[in-house]
Amino acid sequence: MSDLKVNSIAGVLLASVLGVMGVGTAADAVFHPHWPEKAGFMPEIAEAGGGPSGPAQEGPPDFGRLFADPVQYAELVARGERGVGVCKSCHTFQAGGADGIGPNLHDVFGRRAATHPGFSFSQAMHEHTVVWSYDTLNEYLRSPSQVVRGTRMAFAGIRNTNDRVAVLAYLRSIAPSPPALPAPLPEAAPAAAAPAGAAAGAAASPAPATPATPAPH
């Protein structure tokens, strides 16, 4: 009898702890995305650039290679589709979707910045006259407020390169006329000769990083 009571108290406590955690992760997901570091299905994406002298300078990911393989591309698109969950408090992604706090992003890949009809962009975004494409989206989504100073997009950015590349793959996959894939970067050629970079990935990270945290629902 007293066992039963203890159990139900424990149950209530557990439920409230879970409730608190649920709220916490939802808020974190919007403002401080903290996604699993481990890709699971692919080796970490190596950043190009960073000469032998001097500190590693982060270069752009090799989109021409990453998106060329149809299987890998499909996996990235699927991962990106989950990844944009954190954008959905402000953006819609389907064709003809309504603007929210931010503009609809269905055709953003290939569209010039601040040209979505009917949305009132910040002055800063109007002055950012780029076409949203591989490198421009990659830079912006890494750190929106650093790339477009004064942007109204209140979002910290996606620091994890794999997650960011996956979001780009998804945005490209839904766009009606995305720009053509760039040519693969020449610097990446020697690595590509090795079988899919799997060996390099294993050697570079002897222990897997933090265990994957469950994705926010």
Point out which residues bind ligand HEC (CB under 6 A): 30, 84, 86-87, 89-91, 101-103, 105, 108, 111, 113-114, 116, 121-122, 124-125, 132, 137, 141, 151-155, 158, 167
Strand residues in the chain grouped as ranges (E): none
Measured from the CB atom, is 125 or 188 closer to ligand HEC?
Answer: 125
Measured from the CB atom, is 87 or 188 closer to ligand HEC?
Answer: 87
- DSSP per residue, 88-122: TTT---STTPPP-SS---TT-TTSBTT--TT----
Least gap, CB of 14 to ligand HEC (angstroms) = 31
Q: Position of tokens 């080796």?
A: 43
Pull the structure tokens for residue 206: 């002897």
Strand residues in 43-190 grouped as ranges (E): none
Query: How far is Cα 153 from Cα 101, in angstroms, rounded to an integer?
Result: 8
Strand partners, 112: 131
Least gap, CB of 72 to ligand HEC (angstroms) = 20
Query: How far is Cα 56 from Cα 59, in angstroms, rounded to an integer?
Result: 9
Q: Taking the CA atoms of the chain, what radius of gyration do you get in angstroms? A: 20
Measured from the CB atom, is 25 or 50 closer to ligand HEC?
Answer: 25
Least gap, CB of 162 to ligand HEC (angstroms) = 14
Residue 174: left (phi > 0), alpha (psi -120 to 50), or beta?
alpha
Least gap, CB of 198 to ligand HEC (angstroms) = 28
Measured from the CB atom, is 164 or 188 closer to ligand HEC?
Answer: 164
Least gap, CB of 153 to ligand HEC (angstroms) = 3
Measured from the CB atom, is 167 or 188 closer to ligand HEC?
Answer: 167
